[in-house]
Structure 1
Amino acid sequence: MQSTGAKRFERPVIIRTGGSDRTVVDVNSAAEILLKAFPRETARRKAAMAACLRVIRGEAHSPVARQAFVSAALEVGILAGD
C-alpha cells in the first residue's frame, strides 16, 4: 500500500479553468478536477480517472496518474504548464 506522500506528483501540473490557473500537486486533486471541473467527457478523461483510482487504491504509482491527467488536460486545451 502506498503512503499518502507517494500520491503527490513529482512535478505539479498547471491547468487553466474558469480564466485562472490552478496548480495540481497530487492524485487526489487531479481526481477531484476530473470529476467536478473537467470541461467535457472524453476517453482520455476516463483513462485519467481510472489511473487516479488505481493510485488511490495503491495499485499504481503517481507518475501513471500524472501522465494520464496531463494527456487529458492537453486534449481539452486546459493544460497551462507541465
Structure 2
Amino acid sequence: MSRFERPVVVQLSRHAAERVVFDVNDAATILLRDLTRETEKRKAAMDACLRVLRGESHPPAARRAFVAAALEAKILRGD
C-alpha cells in the first residue's frame, strides 16, 4: 500500500486549484511532471517514492521527502 497517512495539499501554480496528494503515485507524478527544477530535495523525493514503489521503503519516508521538495518549490499548501 502506498497511501499516505495524511494527504499533502499542494498548489502547482498561482492560478491552479489546490491538489490533494493521497499517495506515492500522485507524489511521483507531480515530481516528474510539475517540479522540473533539478534540486537535491526533488531528487531525494523521487528516490524515496521509487523505493516505496519497489517495496523497499514505506510511505511515511516518501511523504516527508515530498513535503520537503514541495516546500522548497513553494507549492506546499497543507501538511
Q: Same fold by TM-score, threshold 0.5 exceeded? A: yes
Q: Normalization by structure 1: what TM-score?
A: 0.89
Structure 1 residue runs without a partner (length 5+): 1-5
Question: TM-score scaled by structure 2?
Answer: 0.93
Structure 1 vs Structure 2 CA RMSD: 0.9
Gaps of 5+ in 2: none
Deviations 1:32-80 (A, max 9, x none): 0000011522110000000000000000000000000000000111100
Is it true that 1:22 corresponds to 2:19 in the alignment? yes
Pick from 9, 23, 26 the counterpart of residue 4 of structure 2.
9
Q: Count residues with an aligned counterpart.
A: 77
Moved over 2 A (4+): none
The amino acid that maps onto 2:60 is: P
Counterpart of 2:59 in structure 1 is 62
Task: Give me the whole-angstrom Cα distance separating, in 2, the residues matched to 1:37 and 1:78.
Answer: 10
Q: Kindly indicate whether the alpha-carbon contact (under 8 Å) linking 1:48 and 1:65 is maintained by their aligned counterparts in 2.
A: yes
